[in-house]
Structure 1
Amino acid sequence: MRCDLVWHRKIGHFTINSFYWAADKIMMDYIYKGILDSLDSYIVVIEGDGVISFTNKKWGDLTEAMGATIGMDCLGKNYFDCCSMILLNPDDFITECKLQIAKLLQGENSEFVLEFSNYTINHQIWLEVTGNLLVLDQSRYVILNHSNIINRKKDRAEIEKLTLIDSVTGIANQKSFNNFYSNEWQRSMRNRIEMALLLGELEGDEIDGFQLKKVAKIFEKHARRACDLVAVLKNNQFALILGQTNSESCEFVALEIHQEILQLNLMSIEGNQISINIGISSATPTLIDTSDMLFNSVDLALRKAKSSRQQNIYSHCPTISFKAGLVMKN
């Protein structure tokens, strides 16, 4: 009897402990769920094999915004299968996310952050996904916190845009020119096509911002394609990059720009007409060439035009001796 009494007491002791343990677990689960549901981020908790064991309330808003069926239930489904259904181009993200989750579960990393953009008919979304390890009852989970940072990206883009635009004329500045010129040089090299460059410098005393804007608009008219760019450099100097353009076509553009600026009849403060000198050149980049080669050639042509009393437009071939371009009389 005593033995039976002791046995029953032990059974009762273990049962009560199990009850408290289960109650604690339910309470903790409730607390975790409440905390995660209160967040504005889109939370998913997945197991090691990618199966979704928990989503917070906001997660449904995200899946709907990205084009999923209203009320789509992701619980018990594979996270990466869900990504394949709602993302436009999920392959790169899924590959990298799987790699980072594996490192997290193996203890190689304590956290990872990934970014990817997604577009739907009604929404533009840029997600930042942060992954953290969660250990509960000796089981390992990964919490994936999704935040839409599109407004932050737009703000950064606007700030970056301000650093690439000339404040007076509203066109690209030197920094923007350098980036575009380098990229166009590399693109022309890969495709083995010719590109041209035009540098124009206004000649006149104390040219004001209003006049510079008028000149900028004329240059902008000739930058019609994605491979073209007009920029303002220094000392009233304008640059026009013309992708997929040979020297003859660039020379024609230079003539038009020169004539259109003369037709503006811009006058300096001292009453003198403002004119423009132009240097042009073109090249088909090769592996042995540098981008400086073309720019220096155009700069040389511009200096010749400025020093000449008979010509306003000069061209110079980067690989052969200097030659005069089409003559424009003052």
Structure 2
Amino acid sequence: FHHMLGYCGPPPLTLHEILGPGQEEIERIVANAARENGQISREIRMYRQDGSPVDTVMSMNRIDVEGKGMLCGVIHDITERKRTEERLAKLNECFLEFTAEPDRNIQRLTALCGELMGAACALYNRLTNGTLLTLAHWQAPPDFNPVDSPDGHICHDVIKGGGNQIFVVRDLPRTPYAETDPNVLRYNLKTYVGVPVRCCGSNVGSLCVVYHRDFVPTEEDKKLMGIVAVAVEVAEESKLASEFLRESERFARSTLEALPEHVAILEEDGSIVAVNQQWRSSAARKLSVLQSPVEGDNYFEACNSAAGKEKEYAGAFAAGIRSVLRGKRESFSMEYPCDSGGEQLWFLGRVNRFSGDGPKRIVVVHENITELKRAEINIQRLAYYDTLTGLPNRLLLQDRLRQGIKRAERNRQLLALLFLDLDHFKVINDTLGHAAGDQLLRQVATRLNSHVRAYDTVARMGGDEFVLVLNQVTDTGKVSIVAKNIIEALSPPFEVSGQEVFVTTSIGIAMYPTDGTDGERLLKNADTAMYRAKERGRNAYQYFSAELNLKAEERLVMETNLRHALEKGELLLYYQLWQDLESGRITGMEALLRWRHPVWGMVLPDS
């Protein structure tokens, strides 16, 4: 997070420093997440240490930790994605505003390329009859000569180089072009980025941007140049064919094919006008009914044909499209899962309207967000599951207990809570080491899981303590069978660090509703019963009873008073002599500590 915001070490971050004007928005998100007890995902603009903006997606999930509500968040930097989307949106807007005049379209594309690339100047040069002509330019110097000799000119080399590779020349004053191309020194050019433009199968021109500084284009920059160059190519060919309608469709097609997302264009009635290559690949793999129809199909009919798990998602997405078509909303988005050969993928489906006065059309985009969802799921797993054994932790156990108690109350059934503690686990841990102890705990968790039903819960409380929640219990006899089975299941030796280790367990059992009507009371009473099982010799189970509770309370009072006995002067020393009965000699003595309580009198040692 610090690296994303440009900090080298731990910074004194505050919401105002990170969010600037967006502070109020994040505060609303945090409040909503805390209030709704669910997941909230929003796009938020943050700010780096140098003040530059960072676009992010923040996903927040409310969790309870030891009864205290906390928020767990995942933040992803989507600055590059947003930058790409903004670029594509401007390109799309440019394409939609094309006229029947190809030269005017090329001028727009050249200017847009220079603007989006942040260049000092942008040019489109065409090689015609041995002369290099500048047909379009953006921010060209006032004395710029649009007609030039191709010899030694960088653009000429780009055109004659063949292929469609991006041509990048840095530190121009130190290259041979400083002598052969007069524009280099005349206009103090430092970096040149160009791409050839083809027409009728051969290179006819070059689209370029130049800088007065050093510049290294990114892969996204190169893709952008390629997309604009393709659009210029289409404009060049439209000049020859004079069929603007056909060529404008090629503009859109070129843009669609360059997008990494799955994109389709729909008519108002749901007919699919065009899809890109990513969409066609998805349709061939039959990932989802939401991405299966192709050109000529009706999207609404495809959604209506969905079955099983997909029916709900398809119905919701089709309803979202119709709401956009009817003008009820500007856009619509929805996350949904799909299965790919046993692997679950997640997609974000987005719907937007085409602007303009033409026919109503919809752009449908499906973006693969599987990695983002996996990160969110991993965060949730860390919050609710024990990292050592993979079992539910105390937090998730409390939630399962609440649900189980509500279900038992509704169905008038019993619920059993079994509190397990491994006998003499500390000896194993101290003898073989903590790594061996961890290995043993994982094996114990596996055996416990194999002796419960799918709708029961096995959780790890911490240390060597485990809890089982048995739902839909009809009588205590079946609970006793489960307890006996667990004791027997843990009886065979465990192989830990190459050694055989034997483990026994003491189990305390509390029943809903007789021993408690809430999770906290059931846990406390089962824990009390477990200690009674240990007192009886371990490797046994013990049901909770009121008598056990009374003894536990008496023991607690006794221990509390004993802790203050020394400071209150209640402890006394007695000396017992040892005497030889035959000789009458004193052979030794022992010192005995006695406790005289002001209320109870002399307390017996065994109590």
Fold match, TM over 0.5?
Answer: yes
1:35 pairs with 232, 255, 258, which one? 255
User: Hey, what's the Cα distance between the residues in 1 that align with 2:408 and 2:435?
Assistant: 34
Comparing both chains, which one has the higher relative contact order based on Cα–Cα distances under 8 Å and sequence gaps of 6 or more? 1
Deviation at 1:199, TM superposition (A): 0.7
User: Hey, what's the Cα distance between the residues in 1 that align with 2:328 and 2:284?
Assistant: 34
User: Hey, what's the Cα distance between the residues in 2 that align with 1:265 and 1:291?
Assistant: 32
When the two structures are aligned, how many residues end up with a matched partner?
293
Q: Is the 8 A contact 2:458 2:468 kept in 1?
A: yes
**Closer, same or farther: CA 217–265 of 1 in aligned 2, 3 Å:** closer
SS at match of 2:269: coil
Deviation at 1:78, TM superposition (A): 1.7
Aligned to 1:53: 273
User: Hey, what's the Cα distance between the residues in 1 that align with 2:440 and 2:483?
Assistant: 16
Aligned to 2:323: 103
1:244 pairs with 465, 472, 478, which one? 472
Deviation at 1:130, TM superposition (A): 0.9
User: Hey, what's the Cα distance between the residues in 2 that align with 1:302 and 1:104?
Assistant: 61
Deviation at 1:47, TM superposition (A): 2.4
SS at match of 2:279: helix
SS at match of 2:360: strand
TM-score of the pair, normalised by structure 2: 0.41
Q: Is the 8 A contact 1:199 1:298 kept in 2?
A: yes
User: Hey, what's the Cα distance between the residues in 1 that align with 2:274 and 2:401?
Assistant: 50
1:211 pairs with 437, 455, 458, which one? 437
User: Hey, what's the Cα distance between the residues in 2 that align with 1:125 and 1:141?
Assistant: 28
Aligned to 1:142: 362
Aligned to 2:446: 220
Q: Cα deviations across residues 226-281 of structure 1 (Å, max 9, x unaligned)? A: 12332211343211222334432222333444466566599xxxxxx986432112
Q: Which has the larger radius of gyration?
A: 2
User: Hey, what's the Cα distance between the residues in 1 that align with 2:248 and 2:394?
Assistant: 59
Q: Is the 8 A contact 2:528 2:544 kept in 1?
A: yes
Matched to 1:161, the amino acid is R
The structure where strand makes up a greater share of residues is 2
State yes or no: 1:279 paired with 2:505.
no
User: Hey, what's the Cα distance between the residues in 2 that align with 1:74 and 1:244?
Assistant: 50
User: Hey, what's the Cα distance between the residues in 2 that align with 1:77 and 1:261?
Assistant: 61
Q: Cα deviations across residues 132-168 of structure 1 (Å, max 9, x unaligned)? A: 1212434332211012334443454345434444334
User: Hey, what's the Cα distance between the residues in 2 that align with 1:223 and 1:284?
Assistant: 25
Q: Cα deviations across residues 33-56 of structure 1 (Å, max 9, x unaligned)? A: 211111122111112332222212
**Closer, same or farther: CA 221–202 of 1 in aligned 2, 3 Å:** closer
User: Hey, what's the Cα distance between the residues in 2 that align with 1:46 and 1:259?
Assistant: 64
User: Hey, what's the Cα distance between the residues in 2 that align with 1:162 and 1:44?
Assistant: 38
Judge which range, 140-149 or 209-218, deviates more.
209-218
2:284 pairs with 59, 64, 68, which one? 64
Deviation at 1:129, TM superposition (A): 0.7
**Closer, same or farther: CA 265–115 of 1 in aligned 2, 3 Å:** closer
SS at match of 1:195: strand
1:96-175 matches, cutoff 5 A: 96-119=316-339, 124-175=344-395
User: Hey, what's the Cα distance between the residues in 2 that align with 1:305 and 1:25?
Assistant: 86
Q: RMSD between aligned alpha carbons? A: 4.0
Deviation at 1:178, TM superposition (A): 3.1
1:200 pairs with 407, 420, 442, which one? 420
Matched to 1:79, the amino acid is Y
**Closer, same or farther: CA 149–193 of 1 in aligned 2, 3 Å:** farther
**Closer, same or farther: CA 261–77 of 1 in aligned 2, 3 Å:** closer
**Closer, same or farther: CA 196–48 of 1 in aligned 2, 3 Å:** same
Any stretches of 5+ residues in structure 2 without a counterpart? Answer: 1-98, 103-241, 496-501, 550-607
Q: Cα deviations across residues 168-190 of structure 1 (Å, max 9, x unaligned)? A: 44443223433443444445455
Matched to 1:217, the amino acid is Q
SS at match of 2:314: helix
**Closer, same or farther: CA 41–190 of 1 in aligned 2, 3 Å:** farther
User: Hey, what's the Cα distance between the residues in 1 that align with 2:309 and 2:384?
Assistant: 30
**Closer, same or farther: CA 19–45 of 1 in aligned 2, 3 Å:** closer
SS at match of 2:522: helix
Q: Is the 8 A contact 1:194 1:284 kept in 2?
A: yes
Aligned to 1:3: none
**Closer, same or farther: CA 310–202 of 1 in aligned 2, 3 Å:** closer
User: Hey, what's the Cα distance between the residues in 2 that align with 1:124 and 1:274?
Assistant: 39
Matched to 2:507, the amino acid is I
Any stretches of 5+ residues in structure 1 without a counterpart? Answer: 1-17, 267-272, 325-330
Judge which range, 186-195 or 76-85, deviates more.
186-195
